[in-house]
Chains A and B, each alone.
Chain A
């Protein structure tokens, strides 16, 4: 499995060719997703457990987020009614935090550390499935586009090989580090995209251009539809506002 992981990260053509012909391509691909998911989920679970074990820190984090949100809304408020709403939010923010604290202080049948451990375990168990959910979206739409562009691969080959694109997301384990965490996430995403293009090219026997198009076709159509919808809404609001 380590060889598969390393081969995926280094875009090893030998690995990709071997996986295309392997009868257990799906098992190998999904095992990689499971391992990366457990690694990332495990680290995130420990980070979450450390944070949640200190209620004061949780409250402080919520307060910071709440204040930032109110600050952004006050900057965006242009009308008197909007400023009134922001003022009301400011006046009640301490009340909201008191409610959160009161809920956190409520007694539970088992001691609080048990709840914290359960939440960490839940996060760890959910992460591989979360990666699989995102992977399925990418694989299904890429496979449909690749078939339309003349690809010859099977869904088994596409799923098993597409799963290799999850390998760079092992970097997500470091997402708890402030500032560089999000940058590493972006790098993992871009790296995964390159692996998906490569694996699509090999699984479907397409050239790089068509493989790139297969990967990007439906996301681009989705973005265009959203943009078109936003424009239509804006025009509708503009026309109805002009009356």
Chain B
């Protein structure tokens, strides 16, 4: 319990950009091990908090199936539906296909409900560890290129402390709570981590910090474009003639 509390305090020091905590982490012989445990612990706490919050939302609102059916029935009962059906007798079939596609996309975007949250208890720590390793490696390579002196272990030990920002996501334990502002704060904590680990001047640290997020942003933009094309293709196939 003592060590869990001390790890929690370490995460808070990471959020508060405490340079002493980052220096301790860099110089500690078990900094990497402590960092790994910190990232996994934060992942488990956040995953569990999200599960509790999502369960609260689940029991406080109608089921997705009931909402979908109500909207479906409501749209069909509106005057526009009858008007369009008079002009185009094929419209009800097309409407059903488009409504099913849109419902699928909404369900995909909104996550997998309680099952998704249960899976999230396991996947959240895994994603956090992978992100930590990715950003730590990218930051380390760039920092070394720009004249940094820290070892790989020291960089990872410090960037683990930077991932303490994810502790803010605990707020999701409250149903309907939204997390914001962690992305930029995460960049700032990573900046402090790389600066302290490699003792680089501000501008070199800035560029070393930005490389990982820039690569990730480019990958995400490419993925979003592919998803958009696929979604448009799926919607297009639901329309007559097979195109939008």
Interface residues of A (CB under 8 A from B): 24, 26-27, 30, 88, 91-92, 95-96, 98-99, 102-103, 106-110, 114-115, 118-119, 121-126, 129-130, 132-137, 140, 144, 147, 155-156, 159
Contacts and interface: CB of A to CB of B under 8 A. Distances in A.
B180 A133 contact: yes
A137 B178 CA distance: 18
Nearest to A28: B16
Contacts of B70: 99, 102-103, 106
Interface string B9-30: 0000001111100000000000
Given A96-B74, A155-B188, 15 more contacts: A26-B18, A99-B75, A102-B73, A103-B62, A110-B59, A118-B176, A122-B176, A125-B177, A126-B176, A126-B177, A129-B168, A129-B171, A129-B181, A133-B181, A134-B181
B17 A155 contact: yes
Q: Which of B60, B70, B75: most chain A CB closer than 10 A? A: B60
B109 to A, nearest CB: 19
B179 interface: yes
Contact of B181 (A27, A92, A98, A135): A135
B184 A92 contact: no
Contacts of B202: 147
Nearest to B73: A102
A88 B182 CA distance: 43
Interface string B160-203: 00000000100100111111111011011001100000000011
Contacts, number: 120
Contacts of B184: 133, 136-137, 140
Contacts of A118: 56-57, 60, 174-176
29 contacts: A30-B16, A95-B77, A95-B79, A99-B71, A106-B66, A107-B66, A108-B61, A110-B59, A118-B175, A118-B176, A119-B175, A121-B174, A122-B174, A122-B175, A124-B174, A126-B178, A129-B178, A129-B179, A132-B181, A133-B180, A137-B184, A140-B187, A144-B206, A147-B202, A155-B188, A155-B192, A156-B17, A156-B192, A159-B188
B171 to A, nearest CB: 5
Q: DSSP majority for the B interface? A: helix
Nearest to A133: B181
Contact of A119 (B171, B176, B181, B187): B176
B22 to A, nearest CB: 11
B59 A109 contact: yes
A123 B62 CA distance: 20
Contact of A26 (B17, B174, B176, B187): B17
Contacts of A121: 174-177
Contacts of A96: 74, 78
Nearest to A151: B202
A95 B77 CA distance: 7
A130 B175 contact: no
A110 B60 contact: yes
A115 B61 contact: yes
A135 B59 CA distance: 34
Q: Which of A98, A122, A130: most chain B CB closer than 10 A? A: A122
Contacts of A126: 171, 176-180
Contacts of A123: 176
Interface in B46-75: 56-62, 66-67, 70-71, 73-75
Contacts of A110: 59-60
B86 to A, nearest CB: 14
A161 to B, nearest CB: 13
